[in-house]
Structure 1
Amino acid sequence: MYFIETWFGIFIVDSELNVVDSKLYSEDVDEIVRLNRDFDWSYVKGFDAEPAPLDLEREFRLNLWGRYEERYRSLLHEVGHQVCEGDVEVSLEDRGEDVIRAVETLDKFDKSINLLGESVKEWALSHNVGDVGSGEEIAQDILDGEISESSFKSSVVYQEVKRVSEQLMSLKMARDSVLSYIEREMMGFAPNLTKVCGPVIGGRLISLAGGLKKLALMPSGTIQVLGAEKALFRHLKDGSEPPKHGVIFQHELIRNTHWSKRGKLARTLASKIALASRIDYFSGEDKSKTLLEDLEKRKKEVLQ
């Protein structure tokens, strides 16, 4: 089951968006504002529910408002005004949205850079330029003059490869700029998460969860397999081995460890990520030193 939080209540739904249960807030504005700031996690835990995927949540919200418009419409403006007074939370959500978009943009840049890099390398090798590294390295060597026109069988082809190389390196510069933005934003609004798992993995987890708040409310077991939805679906469908980790595999703690130890370390890392995201969202204190020390201690226990 899934839970969907709105400003006027919490809904428990199944995979087909049927409402299993709901907790509608009273029509007292102060009480609604308080409940919007202090999520009732105990209510959700009673149903063993997880945050709804973004597509389900959007569909639910589109069909939801009409049912409750008459009852809550008159309160919307006043609730919105009071919530905006606590603009720290609003700011966190806005910055989370920006990080989500930046991570999505970074992925698109990476895909384009990889495709162009492959093209540059294949083109160069077809002219017997030699095994001269990755596509990006070849492009940079062409632009630096390390690989000259005489290295190619045709000057026309060389000029075309050079133009593609210019586009490739331009994309790389833009990609690096987006990466720098992600690093700055993540350190600004999710410092504990950033220090525990890095800005890119942290940003990717926020993107997959649908925001810092949703990540903070997720159990560590769900965080552990975020990004491995296809493997999890195969496991549920045909009984294949369940995934041990999702996007957190990119973390050096998991990636550089023998496969037999990865499951234990993935659970540990996911639990620290869960704690870090909750601290970032609910208190903002810097507890990263303690989290990293605990992570290092557990790493030594597992690897000894």
Structure 2
Amino acid sequence: MADTYILFEHASGYALFHANGVEEIAMNLAQVEGNITDFSKFTGIIRLVAFAPFKDGIRALENANAISEGILHDDLQLFLEANLPKPGKKGKVLLGVSDQKIGGVLSESLQISCQHSGAIPELMRGIRLHFAKLIKGLSSEASSKAQLGLGHSYSRAKVKFNVNRVDNMIIQSIAILDQLDKDINTFAMRIREWYGYHFPELVRIVSDNYVYAQIVNIIGERKTLDEEKCAAILEVLGDQEKVNHIVEAGRTSIGADIPEIDLHNVQTFCTRVTNLAQYRLMLQNYLKTKMQQCAPNLAALIGEQVGARLISHAGSLTNLAKFPASTVQILGAEKALFRALKTRGNTPKYGLIYHSSFIGKAKSKDKGRVSRYLANKCSIATRLDCFSEIPTSVVGEHLRKQVEDRLKYIENGEAPRKNIDVMKEAVDEAEAARQAYLDSAAKGEKRKKKKKAKTADEDEPMPEAAAAAEEAPEDDGELEEKKKKKKKKRESAAGVAIEAY
């Protein structure tokens, strides 16, 4: 018969319990589930052996992180070595744990037989329910506060060390950007159909959706075109010939008259569309900044938007870095791939990287070769961005130059530089950029320290000035005499000035 102990990890510390009749409990599990809630019956099964509280919240967070990652913390090891009896000749010792990972670590490190199934989960549930009553001096309120504090600290630590915390912003930004593109195009089509009832000729003159909405907002009623509106239209278009076309078309338009209330609604909608287009530009700049911070090499190689779409489709920058180059090449063309495999047809040559300018520059027969080469370089750039401590865009720029040279080689036969020479040069430049970054960071730290020391010196009084003030104190009478003398001098000077005047 094995002597069964249960390890319970709580926010306030580690607790070790002794369990009686675990085999009988496992046989009558249905009855035990109902009796778990009765504290008097539960204490007949469970007995507290030892309890080791955590010294502070930092130590509790360290132990929680170690347990979640399946690592044996020193506190837990010392606690078990001190309180858990060693297996002897009479019987074995069995330790019940809540997680399989920590059980495996304890078995390897301390040579303890661990179990996490059977009756152990039900006993754990009862301990969790009656924990405040089983530990002397621990109230239910203090237990709930400890759990809440540790839960907040653990969540903050997970968010802080989450590798996806930066690229999550990129994923959301590119999703919003794609949605805005669809919405703006749909809204612009509505404006063209709505305002085309009044001024149909304007669509042929102004093709851009954003500019069209601005022009509609300026013109309003086509019969009211004057010099002031023409000047505003010229400021938007920047082409006097187009402005003249608009004026001429407004005079000879075949469109119907539009009521004032309808025109007001059209112009209000145009204002909303122009605001959306302006926000899209702001979001695009934000995405560019985020890509420069998170994946500078990938952005330098393939562009911010295509790189962001690759990260978004992969789920994170880490996932994209784990993909082989062949997967990166067809990322986004999964439907075509599985359809080709099912029908035994030709597999797709490219997915999202088709939107890159390199694929557009290549001839139709060479697009597959260029996409394969570009996917290789994207895989290198992504891994550098993901696993470098201080990522820079130096290697990405060299990779971009390599792809350009490969395009020239495919078109003209011009031999590119060897890959080993380019990579050696890129690594040297990247190391120099990294060292420059570290030097600038060290200089910034020195400046901060000097500034703090200077402010501390200014706040403290000078000892020499304080000593001089103590040695030569002035009486109130002497100060009053000096003030009277200064006043007499001012009055006499004023009298001389008046006489001279």
TM-score, normalising length: structure 1: 0.69
Q: Distance in 1 between matches of 2:321 and 2:400?
A: 18
Q: How does 1:176-195 map to 2 (within 5 A)?
A: 176-195=281-300
Give 1:26 deviation, angstroms: 9.3
In the alignment, which residue of structure 2 is the partner of 1:45? none
Is residue 290 from structure 1 mapped to residue 394 from structure 2 by the alignment?
A: no
Amino acid of the structure 1 residue aligned with 2:192: K
In the alignment, which residue of structure 2 is the partner of 1:139? 213
In the alignment, which residue of structure 2 is the partner of 1:18? none
Is residue 161 from structure 1 mapped to residue 266 from structure 2 by the alignment?
A: yes
2:304 aligned residue (193, 199, 202): 199
Q: Distance in 1 between matches of 2:98 and 2:314?
A: 28
Q: Distance in 1 between matches of 2:220 and 2:195?
A: 10
How many aligned residue pairs are there? 236
1:303 aligned residue (395, 411, 415): 411
Aligned pair in 2 of structure 1 residues 179, 218: CA closer, same or farther (>3 Å)? same
Relative contact order higher in (CA < 8 Å, ≥ 6 apart): 1
Amino acid of the structure 2 residue aligned with 1:111: K
Amino acid of the structure 1 residue aligned with 2:177: L
Give 1:29 deviation, angstroms: 5.0
Q: Are the equivalent residues in 2 in contact too, given 1:218–1:274 (CA < 8 A)?
A: yes
Q: Distance in 1 between matches of 2:310 and 2:304?
A: 10
Q: Are the equivalent residues in 1 in contact too, given 2:71–2:102 (CA < 8 A)?
A: no
2:177 aligned residue (98, 106, 112): 106
Aligned pair in 2 of structure 1 residues 290, 196: CA closer, same or farther (>3 Å)? same
Q: Are the equivalent residues in 2 in contact too, given 1:119–1:135 (CA < 8 A)?
A: no
Q: Distance in 1 between matches of 2:369 and 2:334?
A: 20
Unaligned runs of 5+ in 2: 1-67, 74-96, 106-149, 224-249, 413-501
Q: Distance in 1 between matches of 2:220 and 2:344?
A: 53
Structure 1, residues 168-226: CA drift from partner, whole Å, max 9, x if none? Answer: 11111221222111111110111001100111111110000010001111111111111
Q: Distance in 1 between matches of 2:198 and 2:324?
A: 54
Amino acid of the structure 1 residue aligned with 2:193: E
Q: Identity of counterpart residues, as a percentage?
A: 28
In the alignment, which residue of structure 2 is the partner of 1:248? 353
Is residue 216 from structure 1 mapped to residue 259 from structure 2 by the alignment?
A: no
Q: Distance in 1 between matches of 2:173 and 2:403?
A: 28
Q: Are the equivalent residues in 1 in contact too, given 2:295–2:391 (CA < 8 A)?
A: no
Unaligned runs of 5+ in 1: 1-24, 31-67
TM-score, normalising length: structure 2: 0.43
Aligned residue for 2:166, secondary structure, equals: helix
Q: Distance in 2 between matches of 1:242 and 1:205?
A: 19
Amino acid of the structure 2 residue aligned with 1:107: D
Q: Are the equivalent residues in 1 in contact too, given 2:72–2:102 (CA < 8 A)?
A: no
2:331 aligned residue (226, 229, 243): 226
Q: Distance in 2 between matches of 1:29 and 1:209?
A: 33
Q: Are the equivalent residues in 2 in contact too, given 1:276–1:288 (CA < 8 A)?
A: yes
Aligned pair in 2 of structure 1 residues 73, 123: CA closer, same or farther (>3 Å)? farther
Structure 1, residues 1-27: CA drift from partner, whole Å, max 9, x if none? Answer: xxxxxxxxxxxxxxxxxxxxxxxx994
Give 1:73 deviation, angstroms: 6.8
1:261 aligned residue (331, 351, 366): 366
Q: Are the equivalent residues in 2 in contact too, given 1:224–1:266 (CA < 8 A)?
A: yes
Give 1:136 deviation, angstroms: 2.3
Q: Are the equivalent residues in 2 in contact too, given 1:149–1:158 (CA < 8 A)?
A: no
Point out the structure with max Rg over C-alpha: 2
Give 1:299 deviation, angstroms: 1.4
Q: Are the equivalent residues in 1 in contact too, given 2:314–2:320 (CA < 8 A)?
A: yes
Q: Distance in 2 between matches of 1:170 and 1:134?
A: 15
Aligned residue for 1:28, secondary structure, equals: coil
| Runs of 4+ off more than 6 Å | none
Give 1:301 deviation, angstroms: 1.2
Q: Distance in 2 between matches of 1:29 and 1:126?
A: 75
Q: Are the equivalent residues in 2 in contact too, given 1:228–1:247 (CA < 8 A)?
A: yes
Q: Distance in 1 between matches of 2:370 and 2:192?
A: 37
In the alignment, which residue of structure 2 is the partner of 1:28? 71
Amino acid of the structure 2 residue aligned with 1:185: K
Aligned pair in 2 of structure 1 residues 200, 69: CA closer, same or farther (>3 Å)? farther
Q: How does 1:26-105 map to 2 (within 5 A)?
A: 27-28=70-71, 70-72=99-101, 90=162, 92-105=163-176
Q: Are the equivalent residues in 1 in contact too, given 2:184–2:273 (CA < 8 A)?
A: yes
Structure 1, residues 46-76: CA drift from partner, whole Å, max 9, x if none? Answer: xxxxxxxxxxxxxxxxxxxxxx96224799x
Q: Distance in 2 between matches of 1:182 and 1:256?
A: 25
Q: Are the equivalent residues in 2 in contact too, given 1:117–1:134 (CA < 8 A)?
A: no
Amino acid of the structure 2 residue aligned with 1:154: I
Structure 1 stretch displaced more, 154-163 or 251-260: 154-163
Q: Are the equivalent residues in 1 in contact too, given 2:220–2:263 (CA < 8 A)?
A: no
Q: Distance in 2 between matches of 1:114 and 1:108?
A: 10
Q: Distance in 2 between matches of 1:99 and 1:26?
A: 28
- RMSD (Å) for aligned C-alpha atoms: 3.0
Aligned residue for 1:242, secondary structure, equals: coil
Q: Distance in 1 between matches of 2:407 and 2:189?
A: 37
